[in-house]
Amino acid sequence: MTAVEPRATVEITVDGVAVEARPGEMLIAACERSGTYIPRFCYHPRMSPVGMCRMCLVEVDTGRGFGLQPSCMVPVSEGMKVSTDSDAAKKAQDGVLEFLLINHPLDCPVCDKGGECPLQDQTMAYGPGETRFVEEKRHFPKPIAISETVFLDRERCILCDRCTRFADEVAGDALIHFMGRGNHTEVNTFTDEPFASYFSGNTVQICPVGALTAAPYRFKARPWDLTETLSTAWVDSLGSRVAVQASRNRVLRVLGADADAVNWGWLSDKERFGFEALNSAERLSAPMIRDAVDGDSREFRQAGWGEALEAVADALRATSPERVAVLGGARLANEAQYMWAKLAKGVVGTDNVDAQLGDGLDPHLVLGLPRATIDDACRPGATVLLVGPDPKEELPTLYLRLRHAIVNDGVKLVEVTPHATGLSHLAAHSLRPSPGTTARLVAELVDAATGPVPPGGPSEIEAAARSLREAGDGVVVVLGRMSLAEPADIADAAARELSRLPSARFLPALRRGNLMGALEAGLAPGLVPGRTQLEDAGEGAPLVESWPRLPDSLGLDATSVLRAAARGDIDVLVLLGADPLNDFVDRDLAYRGLRGAACVVAVDLFVNDSASLAARAVLAAAGPTECDGTFTNVEGRVSIMSRKVTPPGTARADWMIAADLCERLEPGSTRGLDSPQAIRAELAQISRAHAPITEDALTQNPMEGVLLASPSGATGEAGGWRRSGRPTMGRSPVDRTEPATGPAGREDPLEELPEDGFLLVATRTMYDDGVMLRHCGSSRGLAPAATARINPADTDRIDIDVGTAVRVVSDFGHIEATLATDAGVPAGSLRVDWLAPGAPANALIAAATDVTVVSVEAR
Amino acid sequence: MGTPSATGGYPAPLPDRSAGAGYLQHAPGYVLNDGPKLVTGRFVHEDSFTLERSVATGGYEGLRAALEMTPAAVHDEVRAATLLGRGGAGFPAGVKWGFLPPGKRPYYLVVNGDESEPGTYKDRLLMERDPHQLIEGCLIACYALGLQQCFLYVRGEMALAQERIAAALNDAYAAGYVGRGICGSDFSVDIVMAWGAGAYIVGEETALIESLEGRRGMPRLKPPYFPAAVGLYGQPTIVNNVETLSNLPWLMVNGSDAYKGHGSESSPGTRMFAVSGHLRRPGVYEVEHGVTTFRELIYGDNFCRGIREGHELKMFIPGGGSAPWFFEDHLDLPLEARPVGAAGSMLGSGAIVIMDDTTDAVRAAWRVVKFFARESCGKCTPCREGTTWLEQILRRILDGEGRPSDIDLLLDIGDNISPGPYPVAAHDGSEAVPFPPRQTTICPLGPSAVAPVVSTIRRFRHEYEAKITRRDPIPIEVVPVGASQ
């Protein structure tokens, strides 16, 4: 039997002109690509067609004569003839437009959508000048709040099903529905079930009329006053592409841009509305300094840049390199990260630099693993192994892509997570290791998947292993840090186990904005830009020519930096957008470290809790919409971040602050580095990984961006990892002063659990008490109140009613929360959110312990 | 508008509903006339809905007969009998059954008991009076098609039918007619009853499937055109009408030759017609299919015995609320789908509504349009907005607020819901436009609302014009439910 070659194209005739169409594509899309725009309201290329609005009716002839068909529902077929402007088609379209308008309020002058409204545009272009409708229009109270941020005006609604379809089909949060019927049909929420979706803002963007509006933009601007620039979202590490819109030097709206390889036009509400923090009145507009953190002169005072920078430079000059440390950097653009790496390692000469705060993965491992793209993970038929955090909470647009792939493209998900995730109900297999046992469980899984004997047992782990085995070389591992109460060693050990999966590729689920960029730029101990080990960066490396010096010895990671600071061994601690008090895994150690460092310098948009506690100087930095640069997402995709507005006051771009300090400490060290482009050029010169990032490539791929060279090169050379040998998959060369007990150190922490004890699981939620969210006007209240969740079966073990206020106590501290049950939490575990308002989970955790045992007390 | 008169709003005496007139007091609406009784034979018994009476009068004999044949032979028998679907489309059931794609199991049988076409109340009687006959029919169909699961969907408002079917299912399960190893064979079927929430559109088979799956009852988009390809839970599904399945027991006992002995060659057997309106003897009749004409049914002594005293026929709806209207010109058409369709209307679900010369054409059209406006599911724009707009304009004309442009506006709105020439009945020498209408909508509900408007404007334009120029409101009386009983 000979296979029939699938045809690459089919030929159709649109208004008498022959047009090539793609097999299977809908007529409306084929016509649009060939230049014939068919009006539509319900059709959206990223959602399944519903054919509801009937606006796209055209005459179609497939051999049996012309007849009216909705072009969003008709797949093209060979020889199809289409008439989009016949009398019958025009009459039908005019009729539908009239039907849509009869009950539409025509309050365009006060409608936020006016000026960018498809219904208005269509009416202006083709609509009747006068109405034939003399009856009373349909009335509803308007608008109603269907969530904290989204408002619904049912009078304007044309019932196109876009928002409800999005909520159900794309986000999986079917919280808005059609209600009533006929002419009384309306979109609404059920009583007491608000549209509390992380993705609600997308419905506002895709609404074809002004029915859905979002609090941050309501009545703020008219679309024709806005100017727009393509940029990259900064709140998580996925790098969703966005359009930033501003008027009169103020960002007013962020919309999702449809990058086929990344976010498909969707955004989480945090990405969409996070810009509000940048407009906050509490933004720093000038450097602030104080002479002491205790005593009389502890209030910050505004300072000039010269004074502030000279003070910092003085502090750096007055000490030796190994007594200087830099924490953070994920907030920065790639160029700024490179400049800070150069300042710290190449000018000051310290290797005590860590962009992660004990809550990430071994950077050497992340940079060495063969990398997958989002498209690889979502390829039809792929198998995805999730060993990491809940994507819905931490990488929301990845969650949307994975959800779509699982539901529509047969992608199989195997998840190893400490509690149920937003994808658990779609997962083929869910494994729930107890805290402390992750690495062992992953090792078992990998053994079963790769062993000589195919796994045949009935256990969930064997079944999961079978799925991985059947996937062959199609496994994409989404790898991240799961519970923050489980030390990094265990996560790193699990990651090393996973690297034994043959031809598996990895998508690191990193926390916080541009963390991949930070690691690629060398903001980690033992690394310099270009995925190069510090020990290999000496003689002959291109780095040597542009960097005045290199650190003499390997530096400390964040945990060790804070320990050293607590001992009084750190003189200058730079917080590069970091807030260790809230983000570091051990709150007590963070506190002691901050207080123990002689001089803490923060570079930030706000005075965060850590800076407020300990900083001597806070350097006002420009926000992500206020400076040019590039962003590296977890795939290694570099895309443009554009300056849209000017920073408040004299706040400066992070790269400029670093460059200024470099010049003060080592005149001439930044010669020629007077723009982000120039910095990019230097980085591309010294890092082979960055070689593809040319100005031409960025200009030619404005939407998709450009991928860094993958570390998966055949010899290990392509990424410029090492001059000799393969990537080291081993432990980071950095000395960890007090290594936690290894993954095999304990057999099963559950067995040693006290009768009323629980193993702590702490994971991040999308909304928390972080400094940026605190300043987002409309999202501020969304951080869930502190809750301690236990498995329903565990309620018997404690004599406390569910729903009551409790105190969660560990050996190191306590937090207050409300007790709740959650079947997604395994028995024996107690789950808390990472940074609930007033209840920081890191108060319970000590960096040196491998499992955190907590108990629950009534309060 | 005032208190109802003694006759419940009827200006003339009510029809005689006594037993002497042929009505059965225990089967309200059913008229026991002369003629073959293939599906209503058991109605004479007051306890016809019980298992005991059913079995005593030959119940489940058709199932036993079927179980002695091979499933394919049962299917062949149904095909040979040319049993036409009774839900409205009139498609041969045996052919429909053949559409199930091989190998894509499981298959499902869904019984459409959501009888809601205005004027139709025959399936209600079948479900209330003889649920075991329906269950037996389901079992025969399941046996023929090799199905194990049947869903019996009953209209939400039909509480008694739901009660009787539920009781009958319990009894049939207990007696071994439904469930595992039926009648000692290795044939097993589960029948589940489900009921609607009161939506006309759920009578449309894909909307019924949506409702059965627990979603809003909205028609599915086509293609796929038939649930036999993609139906309930995405599986191949046969959707059959209650009356269609109720024919199967008699057919299995008596064979396809005997079945074809009744009715016409192209439409064999009998059919139930629900005839309502200004008649001397309105009711549900089991009529030989294809050989009776509208005139016989309306005027015949064995049937409705003519228009009520002192009045003339003005117009009638031949196939339920969604059919274009007929007039005296069409009385000699046979009760058969094809000629009725060619004449510009449809026989539909067998609901014939008779209106005499006391009927105000505009008001009658308004009442039917109001029904469709209320029942539009709201999914697609022309139907959601258009039906209500039509209703509002007609209401305004009746209120004495009509405008001269309204008649053209009504026709143009109709054209935007159902583009091109609308099916109209041939009269006054005009040419008939055959059924069905074209549509800008997903399902035929929207175009159905256009039928009364186009029908009445065509024939009674002068009544519209008179109302528009006279500008005096016509009171719309509210007749309380049950007042006309």
B159-174 and B131-145 are packed helices; what angle lies between their axes, rounded to 10 degrees? Answer: 60
Answer whether A594's CB lies under 8 Å from A614's CB.
yes
The answer to whether the CB atoms of A52 and B379 lie below 8 A apart is yes
DSSP per-residue codes, A254-296: EEE---TTTTTT---HHHHHGGGGGG-TTS--S-EE-S-SSST
For A131, the closest chain B residue by CA position comes to B409
| Residue B439, min C-alpha distance to chain A (Å) | 8
For B419, the closest chain A residue by CA position comes to A92
Q: Omega before A23 cis (within 30°)?
A: no
The answer to whether the CB atoms of A180 and B378 lie below 8 A apart is yes
Q: Do B255 and B142 belong to one domain?
A: yes
Q: What is the pLDDT of residue A613?
A: 94
Q: Across residues B432-437, what is the average pLDDT?
A: 86
Answer whether B154's CB lies under 8 Å from B115's CB.
no
| Residue A133, min C-alpha distance to chain B (Å) | 8
For A133, the closest chain B residue by CA position comes to B389
| A134 neighbourhood in chain B, CB within 8 Å | 396, 403
Q: Across residues B357-370, what is the average pLDDT?
A: 95
| Residue B223, min C-alpha distance to chain A (Å) | 9
Residues 185-204 of chain B whose Cβ lies under 8 A from any Cβ of chain A: 199
| Residue B104, min C-alpha distance to chain A (Å) | 19
C-alpha to C-alpha distance for B289 and B35, rounded to whole angstroms: 11
- Tell me how far the alpha carbon of residue B185 is from its chain's centroid: 35
The CA–CA distances, whole Å, from A837 to A777, A813, A841, B214 equal: 16, 16, 10, 40
Out of B356, B386, B414, a domain closes at B356
| Residue A796, min C-alpha distance to chain B (Å) | 36
The answer to whether the CB atoms of A91 and B415 lie below 8 A apart is yes
For residue range A519-545, what is the model confidence (pLDDT) as tens digits? 999 999 999 998 888 888 876 677 878
Give one word for A315, left, alpha or beta, with left for phi > 0 and alpha for psi -120 to 50.
Answer: alpha
| Residue B373, min C-alpha distance to chain A (Å) | 6
Query: For residue B353, what is the DSSP state?
Result: E
**Mutation target among A178, A181, A184, A209 for the B interface, most CBs of B within 10 A:** A181
Q: What is the pLDDT of residue A4?
A: 54
Q: Which domain CATH number covers B320?
A: 3.10.20.600
Q: What is the pLDDT of residue A499?
A: 85
C-alpha to C-alpha distance for B449 and B376, rounded to whole angstroms: 10
For residue range B52-74, what is the model confidence (pLDDT) as tens digits? 999 999 999 999 999 999 999 99
The topology under which CATH files domain A757-858 is: Barwin-like endoglucanases (2.40.40)
| Residue B305, min C-alpha distance to chain A (Å) | 39
> Where residue B224 falls among pLDDT bands split at 50, 70, 90?
confident
With tokens 């120029």, the residue in question is B469
Determine contact: B216 vs chain A, CB below 8 A: yes
**Which residue among A94, A103, A132 places its CB closest to the CB of B385?**
A103
What total number of domains does chain B contain?
Answer: 3
| B441 neighbourhood in chain A, CB within 8 Å | 54
B18: in domain: no
Residue closest to A734 by CA, chosen among A492, A489, A526, A563: A526
> Hey, what are A653's tokens?
């771009």
Q: What is the pLDDT of residue B428?
A: 64
Determine contact: B225 vs chain A, CB below 8 A: no
- Tell me how far the alpha carbon of residue A507 is from its chain's centroid: 13
Element (H or E) spanning A386, and its range? strand A383-387
CATH number listed for the domain at residues A10-101: 3.10.20.740
Q: Half-sphere exposure (CA, 13 Å, Cβ side) for B204? A: 24
Give one word for B313, left, alpha or beta, with left for phi > 0 and alpha for psi -120 to 50.
Answer: beta
Residue A294 pLDDT greater than 80, yes or no = no
Q: Are strands A805-809 and A853-858 parallel, antiparallel or unpaired?
A: antiparallel
Strand partners, B179: B189
Element (H or E) spanning A96, and its range? helix A87-102
**Which residue among B216, B221, B396 places its CB closest to the CB of A73?**
B221
Q: Do B63 and B114 belong to one domain?
A: yes
Who contacts A786 (Cβ-Cβ below 8 Å, separation ≥6)?
A: A815, A816, A817, A818, A832, A833, A836, A837, A838, A839
**Mutation target among A99, A164, A168 for the B interface, most CBs of B within 10 A:** A99
For residue range A237-285, what is the model confidence (pLDDT) as tens digits? 999 999 999 999 999 999 999 999 999 999 999 999 999 999 999 999 9
Residue B174 pLDDT greater than 90, yes or no = yes
Kindly report the backbone phi and psi dihedral angles of residue B396, in degrees, each rounded to the nearest multiple of 5, phi listed first.
-65, -40
**Which residue among A91, A158, A159 places its CB closest to the CB of B419?**
A91
Cα angle for residues A611, A616, A620 (degrees, 5° grid): 65
Answer whether A839's CB lies under 8 Å from A829's CB.
no
B375: in domain: yes
Kindly report the backbone phi and psi dihedral angles of residue A674, in degrees, each rounded to the nearest multiple of 5, phi listed first.
-110, 10
Please, which contacts does A443-451 make with residues 24 or more away whose CB atoms are closer than 8 Å?
A443/A494, A443/A497, A445/A416, A446/A497, A446/A498, A446/A500, A446/A501, A449/A501, A450/A500, A450/A501, A450/A502
Q: Do B438 and B322 belong to one domain?
A: no
Q: Do B238 and B297 belong to one domain?
A: no
Answer whether A215's CB lies under 8 Å from A207's CB.
no
Strand partners, A790: A821, A830
B88: in domain: yes
B11: in domain: no
The answer to whether the CB atoms of A51 and B419 lie below 8 A apart is no
For B375, the closest chain A residue by CA position comes to A182
Q: What is the pTM of this model?
A: 0.91
| Residue A92, min C-alpha distance to chain B (Å) | 6
Q: Do B177 and B315 belong to one domain?
A: no
Answer whether B442's CB lies under 8 Å from B384's CB.
no
Q: Which of A693-697, B6-10, B120-124, B339-343 is predicted with the least confidence, judged by mean pLDDT?
A: B6-10
> Where residue B477 falls among pLDDT bands split at 50, 70, 90?
low
Cα dihedral value A91, A96, A97, A101, nearest 10: 140
| Residue B275, min C-alpha distance to chain A (Å) | 28
| A181 neighbourhood in chain B, CB within 8 Å | 199, 375-378
Residue B5 pLDDT greater than 50, yes or no = no
Kindly report the backbone phi and psi dihedral angles of residue B128, in degrees, each rounded to the nearest multiple of 5, phi listed first.
-80, -40
Out of B322, B340, B356, a domain closes at B356
Domain residue ranges of chain A, discontinuous segments joined by +: 10-101, 288-360+515-707, 364-509, 757-858
Q: Do B50 and B145 belong to one domain?
A: yes
With tokens 């570099």, the residue in question is A638
Q: Across residues A795-822, what is the average pLDDT?
A: 94
Q: What is the pLDDT of residue A739?
A: 41
The CA–CA distances, whole Å, from B185 to B139, B173, B248 equal: 13, 14, 19
Query: For residue A537, what is the DSSP state?
Result: S
Answer with the residue of higher pLDDT: A733 or B350.
B350
Q: What is the pLDDT of residue A740?
A: 43
For residue range B371-383, what is the model confidence (pLDDT) as tens digits? 999 999 999 999 9
Residue A671 pLDDT greater than 50, yes or no = yes
**Which residue among B221, B387, B413 places its CB closest to the CB of A51?**
B221
Residue B425 pLDDT greater than 80, yes or no = no
Q: Across residues B89-105, what is the average pLDDT?
A: 91
Answer whether B363's CB lies under 8 Å from B376's CB.
no
Selection from A592-601, A791-800, B471-480 with the highest mean pLDDT: A592-601
> Where residue A489 falls among pLDDT bands split at 50, 70, 90?
confident
> Where residue A792 falls among pLDDT bands split at 50, 70, 90?
very high
The answer to whether the CB atoms of B382 and A183 lie below 8 A apart is no
Kindly report the backbone phi and psi dihedral angles of residue B289, in degrees, each rounded to the nearest multiple of 5, phi listed first.
-70, 130
Q: Do B103 and B76 belong to one domain?
A: yes
Q: What is the pLDDT of residue B12?
A: 54
B31: in domain: no
Domain A364-509 architecture: 3-Layer(aba) Sandwich (3.40)
Q: Which of A87-101, A707-721, B417-431 is predicted with the least confidence, judged by mean pLDDT?
A: A707-721
The answer to whether the CB atoms of A68 and B438 lie below 8 A apart is yes
Who contacts A266 (Cβ-Cβ below 8 Å, separation ≥6)?
A: A46, A170, A199, A202, A240, A256, A397, A400
Q: Which domain CATH number covers B398?
A: 1.20.1440.230
Residue closest to B300 by CA, chosen among A127, A736, B288: B288
> Hey, what are A412's tokens?
């199989």
User: Counting one residue from A and one from B, how many pairs have CB atoms under 8 Å apart?
Assistant: 97
Residue closest to A813 by CA, chosen among A845, A836, A789: A845
Kindly report the backbone phi and psi dihedral angles of residue A213, in degrees, each rounded to the nearest multiple of 5, phi listed first.
-130, 155
For residue range A295-313, what is the model confidence (pLDDT) as tens digits? 666 799 999 999 999 999 9
Out of B215, B237, B260, a domain closes at B260
Q: What is the pLDDT of residue A714?
A: 35
**Which residue among B373, B409, B413 places its CB closest to the CB of A183?**
B373
For residue range A423-445, what is the model confidence (pLDDT) as tens digits? 999 999 999 999 989 999 999 99
Answer whether A475's CB lies under 8 Å from A383's CB.
yes
Q: Do B97 and B238 belong to one domain?
A: yes
For residue range B226-261, what is the model confidence (pLDDT) as tens digits? 899 999 999 999 999 999 999 999 999 999 999 999
Query: For residue A345, what is the DSSP state?
Result: I
- By the 10 Å C-beta count (0-12 exposed, 13-18 middle, 19+ buried), A90 is classed as middle
Domain of residue B373: give its range.
Answer: 361-470
For A158, the closest chain B residue by CA position comes to B381
What's chain A's average pLDDT? Answer: 91
Q: What is the ipTM, given to two decimal places? A: 0.91
Give one word for B317, left, alpha or beta, with left for phi > 0 and alpha for psi -120 to 50.
Answer: beta
Cα angle for residues A294, A298, A301 (degrees, 5° grid): 160
| A66 neighbourhood in chain B, CB within 8 Å | none
Q: Do B429 and B281 belong to one domain?
A: no
The answer to whether the CB atoms of B199 and A73 lie below 8 A apart is no
Residue B225 pLDDT greater than 80, yes or no = no
> Hey, what are B118's tokens?
């205005």
| B378 neighbourhood in chain A, CB within 8 Å | 159, 178, 180-185
CATH number listed for the domain at residues A288-360+515-707: 3.40.50.740
Q: Which domain CATH number covers B125?
A: 3.40.50.11540
E strands, A599-654, in order:
599-604, 615-620, 629-632, 637-641
Q: Do B312 and B369 belong to one domain?
A: no
Interface of A with B (CB under 8 A): 49-55, 57, 67-68, 73, 88, 91-92, 94-96, 98-100, 102-103, 132-135, 158-159, 178, 180-185
Element (H or E) spanning B194, and its range? strand B190-195
Residue A727 pLDDT greater than 50, yes or no = no
Q: Do B255 and B296 belong to one domain?
A: no
C-alpha to C-alpha distance for A136 and A223, rounded to whole angstroms: 30
| A88 neighbourhood in chain B, CB within 8 Å | 419-420
Residue closest to B348 by CA, chosen among B259, B271, B454: B271
Residue A745 pLDDT greater than 70, yes or no = no
Q: Half-sphere exposure (CA, 13 Å, Cβ side) for B320? A: 24
Determine contact: B373 vs chain A, CB below 8 A: yes
For residue range A608-667, what is the model confidence (pLDDT) as tens digits? 999 999 999 999 999 999 999 999 999 999 999 999 999 999 999 999 999 999 999 999
Answer whether B204's CB lies under 8 Å from B379's CB.
no
Residue B3 pLDDT greater than 80, yes or no = no
Cα angle for residues B159, B162, B164 (degrees, 5° grid): 110
CA dihedral sign, ordered A59, A62, A66, A68: negative
For B391, the closest chain A residue by CA position comes to A135
For residue range A197-228, what is the model confidence (pLDDT) as tens digits? 999 999 999 999 999 999 999 999 999 999 99
**Mutation target among A26, A54, A157 for the B interface, most CBs of B within 10 A:** A54
Answer whether B152's CB lies under 8 Å from B168's CB.
no
